[in-house]
Amino acid sequence: MVDKIIGRVSKGSKMDQVYLPKLRKGLDLGEYVVITPLDNKIVSKSKEKPYFYNVKNIEPLKLIIVNNVFSIIEKKIMGYENIIITGSFLEKGLDFKDIDVILVRNEKFDVSEIKSELEKYLGIKSDIIYLDNKTLIHGLNSDPLYQMMLSKCISKKRLIYRIKNEINYKLLDLHLLKSKSLLDNFDIMTGREKYYSVRNLVSIKLFLENKKLSNEIVNMEIEKIFKIKVVDIKENILDGSKFIKVYRKLYNELFEKIMEGVRNGSK
């Protein structure tokens, strides 16, 4: 049962309305609910606006959630370096399951209390990653997944990082292994699972080529390599034999390149 879900009153043609995410626990269609103003203790009164990176448009409901995530964490954690929201939550639409939060702080802490607090007040699950500044900077330089995470995000404070790729072949080998599942389980994977495997594979390719990484750049490269729209991969509209042939070729090429780096004594 959901304790609270935050919504915003929007103007309608005949009646004003409140939008709620479709993926939620409780509040089924036809149920009666009570609508009350949000507690001022939850709503952030800070005049400081968040910083948007490659987030061109965001729904008003999501912006309310973002501001309240910042507000709740600020009340719980002192001396943080930054709070960053990333992941699928920032994609267009209200069909999100959770919210990904990176909490940058140099001193260790337990995130479980914050997770409970966010879920209690916002009514959605949160995935909080704790990183110190040194780990974050190292990750941005050596890990394509970090670069992808921060290529599209909203942060409490300004992000000022100079990225210089440092290729760690052993780390890339671990990431490449995640994409092998598509070759082994193509027929039983969902479209989105296939897309994430492809995106991971192409991110590694671009990282090895010292190219800039972002969702848009990776998606363009996917469409160029596979000659298919990204949306068709997500919706599982694929010519399986043709798709796997291209995928296997790319996977093998990257595997050989990474193994060569490992054999030559690189990290």
Beta strands of 54-175 (E only): which ranges? 82-86, 98-104, 125-131, 153-155
Alpha helices in 152-267 (DSSP H): 169-185, 191-208, 215-226, 230-234, 240-263
- Do 184 and 142 sit in the same domain of this protein? no
The residue among 155, 185, 200 that closes a domain is 155
Residue 83 in domain? yes
Q: Is the dihedral of CA 187, 191, 192, 197 positive or negative?
A: positive
Residue 162 in domain? no
- Do 121 and 16 sit in the same domain of this protein? yes
Please indicate, yes or no, whether the overall pTM of this predicted structure exceeds 0.75.
no
Full domain range(s) for residue 46: 9-155
Query: pLDDT tens digit string along 186-207?
Result: 999 999 999 999 999 999 999 9
Mean pLDDT of the chain: 85
- Do 41 and 73 sit in the same domain of this protein? yes
The residue among 129, 155, 181 that closes a domain is 155
Query: pLDDT tens digit string along 133-147?
Result: 899 999 999 999 999
